[in-house]
Amino acid sequence: MNNIGPMAPTAIKSLEAMGIRDVERCGRLPVEVTIDELEKANVVIALSQDEHSPLLQERFPAYAERVEFWHVADAPEAVALIERKIMDLMARLLGGGGEAPQPEAIEVARSPEALKKPMTAKVGRETAGRRGKGVTTVFDVPLDEDALKELAAKLKQRCGTGGTVKDGRIEIQGDQRERIMAELERLGFKVKRVGG
């Protein structure tokens, strides 16, 4: 209803440059949000307050105050900005225990190449140089030091054991690979087990 057409050609070109191409989805008209979707959502995001706020007030006034506006205009650089906003949102959600976004954003340190990939965490086990006492390691997580410490605290609590963050890696005492992998998946990470 009231949509002027399918996805903007500049948006399609930006997605194609990232290796994302879906002719069927790019050519269709936008789909209107439903009350059911708004009721189930923990977080509701709209890119343009000027464009979406009047429609929300008109059609879904009970939900208008729950929307987080990102203030992203239709422009060639919009895709990169949206990616940064998504990574900030993921960091806030992970830092806030999966609840609604917290006011303080946790910076996510990612290279431009890494922005094209989902957030993946590698989980392994090390015993060398530890006098037989192994640790479970979590590494290659695209989070900054503060966010890693918060994630480590969650994992230590989940496993009921100690641990630390060293050189961008989380170390949890004991063989906790199964628990940690399950918890990371619950938090929205893609998890890869490495080693034996």
Express each pLDDT in 112-147 by its tens digit.
Answer: 444 444 567 899 998 876 666 789 999 988 788 888
Strands 120-126 and 135-139: antiparallel
Query: What is the per-residue pLDDT for 91?
Result: 78
Question: Where among 95, 130, 159 does a domain terminate?
Answer: 95
Tell me whether residue 105 is in a domain.
Answer: no
Count, in order, helices (H) and strands (E) of the chain: 7, 7
Tell me whether residue 103 is in a domain.
Answer: no
pTM, two decimal places = 0.42
The neighbouring-strand residues paired with 121 are 191
Which residue in the block uniquely carries the two structure tokens 């015993």?
127
Q: Which is more confident, 73 or 167? A: 167
Tell me whether residue 143 is in a domain.
Answer: yes
Query: What is the per-residue pLDDT for 170?
Result: 93
Domain count, the chain: 2
Q: Do 88 and 134 fall within a single domain?
A: no
Query: What is the per-residue pLDDT for 106?
Result: 33
Q: Do 65 and 121 fall within a single domain?
A: no
- Composition of the chain by helix, strand, coil, percent to 5: 40, 15, 40
Section 5-32 average pLDDT: 74
How would you label 150-173 residue by residue, b for 16+ Cβ within 10 Å and e otherwise? bbbebbbebbeeebebeeebbbbb
Q: Which domain holds residue 90?
A: 9-95
Q: 142: domain CATH number?
A: 3.30.780.10
